[in-house]
Structures are given as C-alpha cells and as structure tokens.
Chains A and B, each alone.
Chain A
Amino acid sequence: MPKAHPIPRKSFISRNPSVLYFLAALGLFTAIVALLSEATGAGLISTSFVKTLGKTLCLCLIAIAMDVVWGYCGILSLGHFAFFGIGGYAIGMWLMYARTEIIVVNSLSGQIIPPTPNEISDAIGNQIFGVVGSSEFPLLWTFADNLYIQLALVLIVPGVLALIFGWLAFRSRVTGVYLSILTQAMTLALSLYLFQNDSGLRGNNGLSGLQNIPGFADSGQDAVSIVFFLASALALGFGYLLFAWITDSKLGSIIQAIREDESRARFLGYHVESYKLFVFTITAIVAGIAGALYYPQAGIINPAEIAPIASIYLAVWVAIGGRGRLYGAVIGAALVSLFSSWFTGGGAPNINLGFYEIQWVDWWLVLLGLTFVLVTLFAPNGIGGLFDKLVRKS
C-alpha cells in the first residue's frame, strides 16, 4: 500500500501567491493614480498621462494573453496585435458613428423642414467617408449604430477569426517558425487590406476622434480619461485572474507539456490541436478586449497600428519581462512601452557627444534591441526571472 501522504490540496491563492500580490499592487496603483488625477483628485497627474497609463494597462493585458499563448503554450503568434486592432476598430465604428450622428442631427435641427432619416444617414456617411471619397455606408458598418452589437463584435470577430485561422493552421500541424510566419502573414494581409481606401474602414485615415464619447461631450477629457483608466485596470485585473486560473488548472499543465514536446503529449492521448485552438482563441478574444479599451484612450486607430511590427514588439515585451510568468509579461509590457513613449516622446534628454548627438527618437530602437539581446543572453528568463531569484533568496 502507498504511504498515507496527506493529499496536497491548497486553495488557488495559496498555490499562486503572486496573483494576490499582483492584484494588490494593481489596486494600489489605480487608487494612487485616481487620487492624483485631475478629475478625481489633486491634479498632479495630467489627463494625457492618465491616458498613457490607461493605455499601458491595456498593453499589459494583451501581453499576458501573449504570455499564455507563447510563454505557456509555445505558439509564437505574431498576430495578436491584429486581434487587438480588430477590437479597436469594432468599438471605434460605434464611437465614430454615434458621435457623428449627434453632430449631424444637431446641425440639421435648425432647418424648417425636419430632415428625413435618409438625409441624416447620407449626412453621417458624408462626414465619415468623405475622406475616402464616398458617402455610402459599407456593409461592415451595418450594426455601427448599435453599441451592444459592436461590443459583442469586439469579442466575436477576433474569436471567430482566431478559431478559423487556428483550426486551419494547427490541423495541418504547422508549428514553430512556420506558424509564426503564417500568423505574421495574416497580420500583414489584414493591415494591407485596411490600408485600401475601399476597405470600408477609411483606409489609412483610420478611425479618429475616438476619445470623444458620444453622449458625454460635456464631461471633459479629464473625467473620460479616468473612467477608461479604471475600466482598463479592471479588465487587466480580471484578465490576470482568468489567465492565472487557466494556467494553474490541469489545462495549464497540458499546454506547457505541449510547449515542451507536443508529440509526447499526443501519445498520452491529448488532442494537441484542440488545446492550441482553445488557447489561441481565448487569448485572441482578450486581445480584442484590450484593443477596445486602448483606442478610445488613444483617440485614433489606423492600419499602421496593426502592422506586423506591433506584434513583434509584443513578443519582445514578453521576452524581456520573462515568458511563462504572467507578472513578467506585465513588467515587460509596462516598462518597455513606458520607456518607449518617454524616449520617443522627447522626454529623454539627447546626449551630445560633441561630434555626434544621440537623438533618442532614432536611437531608442537601438537601445531596445540591445536590451533584448542582453536579456536573451544573460537573463533568459527575463526580468521576471531575476525577480523570481530575488524572492527565492529572501
């Protein structure tokens, strides 16, 4: 008979203390920002910086999704920013439509003969699609007047696209570099399509004015920004819990097994493709949500945002932060994206070497590349890995 060992059955939190620490840190950070912001507090943090921080939280959310799909399951997807962008476009369509509708209705209300619905619709179409020489509403905009449907599309479109793409790719057992190239091709195709003027999404103009929330014109950006900041923090908190729960479950163990040796997992009876499809799809949906929260804070979305390079950055953040640990992805995404906006936004002082001036706008990428190389060479587990070592020592 086996020895009577007590069955180790600890609660989710005691198995994953980092979840608690993370949520506490996130809560504290959110409270401090709210207390120092212009709308709800002392006004020490400018509205534009609140937006930057809110956007950073959204990037952290897509980074943990990337960590699950790449760090845990071993699928180096170079397509998750496409899902992020789709989420942004889906909500952006409603934002643009509803706001334009309000403006158009207001401006037509002065007329003696009340405008017909057709006239209103034409005027909205003109406003939105004038830049690409059209006034017709494309098919894509069928539900743009309905917030709830567009919100549903934030989840549905990335989910269905990931499901179809993933099914085709995983079923034919495309793995490794080939899969990465395939996901990158998908991203490129989507972005090239969006660049076209007749894409129905205003070509390279993208969607703009997204920071103006229809019906809240009087509220002011300081209030809007803090609401989106809080919503982003909430989404990141829930996303973190969701992914921590998934990776802690037995499924988490299986997807790591798939990362290590997928054919071995098959011989244990696991249908590897279903697992990959599940992970690919759920992370795509979370990426869509992150995008839908990001772009109203950014104010504008255009096809360049979806270009393959964005998805590559995403992988770099996760690698620098440390794959296979969710807080690593958060650290990587937050640090790199904040440094990136500091360096490229003129925040960092240029260095004059006398014979040459290092301008960070140009040199930031070099610095980032060097950091990436150094981390890969000397800290293969990323910043999160160094963090782990410190915690274990103490």
Chain B
Amino acid sequence: MSSLLEMSGICKSFDGFQAINNLSLNIGEPELRAVIGPNGAGKTTFMDIITGKTKPDTGTILFGDENRSLIGMSESQIAMLGIGRKFQKPTVFEAQTVRENLAMALENPRGPFSVLFYKKSDQGTARLMEIAQETNLTDHLPRLAGELSHGQKQWLEIGMLLAQSPRLLLVDEPAAGMTAHEREHTTNILKKAAETRAVIVVEHDMEFVRRLNCKVTVLHEGSVLAEGSLDHVTKNQTVIDVYLGRTDVRD
C-alpha cells in the first residue's frame, strides 16, 4: 500500500473560528478509511479542503505518485486528477434523468468542444450499465433524478462517483436516510470500490462504520484525536468523552 494523499499541518479558520487545526492525515492506495467525529468536528470542511472548495490557511496536500500539491488548484482540476466526491446532502441533477446524470460523470474528455461533439460509445454505455447495476438503478435509468427516493439519490451520487473512476473517493455520510437494508448494500459498494482505490467515508452511524471494518480516524475540533481500529478508538477515553458519550451520535 503506497501513500496516495498526504495532508500535513492543515489549518483553516472561518472568521476567527478554528474549523481545522493542524490536521495531518495519510491515505494509502488502495485503502478504506472511516472518519468519525462529533457535529462540527470539521469532517466536511476537511473534504472541502481536499477538493479545492475551501482554501486552507496553512499546510500542504500532496496527491499521487508525483506528489502534486493540490493547494491553489481549481475544483475541476482536482476532480480531473482523480478525486471524486459525494456530498453530505445528496446533490444530483434533479431535472435530468438518472442515465444523463451517470453519463455526465463517466470518465471522458471534459472540454466544451469535445463534449459538444461527443458520441456515445459502446464501452461507455457498458460501463454505465455496470454502475447502474451495482447501485440498483438499472430500472430507474430513464427516470428523472428528482423523482428518486432519498436512498436512491445517495446511490446515484455514489454511482456518479464510481463513473468518474477516481483514485480517491470522498464520501460524506452515504448512509444518511437509508433503510437498514440499503445501508448494507451501500457498505458493499464502498468496500468493493476500496479494493482498487482509496476511499474515505465520513459517517456517524457506528454500526455502518463497524461493517466497513477498516481503519478509523476520529476528528475533534479540527484535528485528529485518535486513529486505529474501531475497537481501539472506541476504547480511548477522550473519544468516549467528546464523542461517544454525546447524544448526537446516531446509532
């Protein structure tokens, strides 16, 4: 397992509020990593920083074999390097069909002119069908994404993420609003994806995290509080005090 993403010394404050505080974190390839922590711990902000949505005040982020610095790159450049993201609130393009949503995410040239003259290819369609199958959306391809259930939207977004074929997937609360059955399926999708790539999952649901069966990073007040197996971190007294003991843990 080689290192794919190295973050070190990242700080970010919003109007004086320190949302991320000297955060350092390494992810290998392939690897599955769960990130947990109380509300406001900075989990989403951490993803915002990697994907270029938020610029950190200090720190370095290196990605890939050539250790390219992500800081200062635009969102689309970072996405093109191979970092895909699922948002906390499911965001799919509701006015378009499931098929169109997936097609937009497929790994293809992204320039306006190549897109204008783009012709559907058999490989592309096959890949799209494969992803639809994997995310249980095959029967819903012609439907408008806005008509899907909450859980299906989450899957569509995960499907779009897979379609991009990224090297690093950032998945923010994929199980929120899902039934137990749906959650189980989601776990399987993520575990499978993590066989060949790096996947970071933010989740509050402890049962979900347990099923992922991977290394866990606990964030608190913008920095890493503990890291290790789920059993290891849940035995940590500080983690119990700041997170597990609190009522806002949903499980």
Contacts and interface: CB of A to CB of B under 8 A. Distances in A.
Interface of A: 2-3, 5, 7, 9, 246, 249-251, 253-254, 256-257, 260-261, 263-272, 274-275, 278
Nearest to A9: B120
Contact of A256 (B85, B95, B120): B95
14 contacts: A2-B126, A2-B129, A3-B133, A5-B138, A249-B115, A250-B104, A251-B115, A265-B104, A266-B76, A267-B53, A267-B85, A268-B160, A270-B110, A271-B112
B74 interface: yes
A249 B118 contact: yes
A257 B138 contact: no
A114 to B, nearest CB: 54
A249 B116 contact: yes
A260 B93 CA distance: 6
A269 B106 CA distance: 10
Interface in B129-183: 129-130, 132-133, 138, 160, 164
Contacts of B105: 268
Contacts of B80: 269
Given A3-B138, A249-B116, A269 B164 contact: yes
A9 B51 CA distance: 35
B112 A268 contact: no
Contact of A257 (B76, B96, B111): B96
Contacts of A268: 79, 104-105, 160, 164
B91 interface: yes
Nearest to B157: A264
Q: Which 10 A-B pairs have the closest CB atoms?
A: A269-B79, A2-B129, A266-B75, A251-B116, A250-B118, A278-B112, A269-B80, A2-B133, A257-B93, A251-B115
A355 B150 CA distance: 60
A253 B103 contact: yes
A271 B76 CA distance: 6
Contact of A271 (B84, B111, B126, B138): B111
B117 interface: yes
A181 to B, nearest CB: 25
Contacts of A250: 103-104, 115-116, 118
B100 A253 contact: yes
Contact of B96 (A2, A256, A269): A256
B110 A269 contact: yes
B18 interface: no
Given A250-B116, A250-B118, A253-B96, A271 B130 contact: no
Given A260-B95, A266-B76, A274-B111, A3 B103 contact: no
A261 B74 CA distance: 16
Interface residues of B, number: 38
B184 interface: no
Given A2-B126, A254-B104, A263 B53 contact: yes
B122 interface: yes
A158 to B, nearest CB: 19
Contacts of B95: 256, 260
Contact of A266 (B79, B93, B125, B164): B79
A267 B73 CA distance: 12
A263 B94 CA distance: 15
A270 B93 contact: no
A246 B112 CA distance: 11
Given A266-B75, A267-B76, 13 more contacts: A2-B130, A251-B116, A251-B118, A254-B104, A256-B93, A264-B87, A264-B93, A267-B53, A268-B79, A270-B76, A271-B111, A274-B112, A278-B116
What is the predominant secondary structure among interface residues of chain A facing chain B? Answer: helix
A267 B171 CA distance: 13
A271 B80 CA distance: 10
Contacts of B104: 250, 253-254, 257, 265, 268, 270
A261 B87 CA distance: 12
B48 to A, nearest CB: 10
A5 B125 CA distance: 10
B145 to A, nearest CB: 10
Contacts of B51: 267
B116 A7 contact: no
A250 B117 CA distance: 8
Contacts of B53: 263, 267
Contacts of A3: 129, 133, 138
A271 B129 contact: no
B74 A266 contact: yes
B125 A269 contact: no
Contacts of A263: 53, 75
Interface in B46-66: 51, 53
B46 to A, nearest CB: 15
A5 B142 CA distance: 13
Contacts of A254: 104, 112, 115
Nearest to B84: A267
- Find the residue from A9, A267, A272 having the highest chain B CB count within 10 A: A267
| Residue of A7, A269, A275 ringed by the most chain B CB atoms within 10 A | A269
A2 to B, nearest CB: 4
A275 B138 CA distance: 30
Nearest to B113: A278
Nearest to B80: A269
Contacts of A278: 112-113, 116
Contacts of B84: 267
A249 B122 contact: no
A266 B126 CA distance: 25
A112 B176 CA distance: 94
A269 B125 CA distance: 20
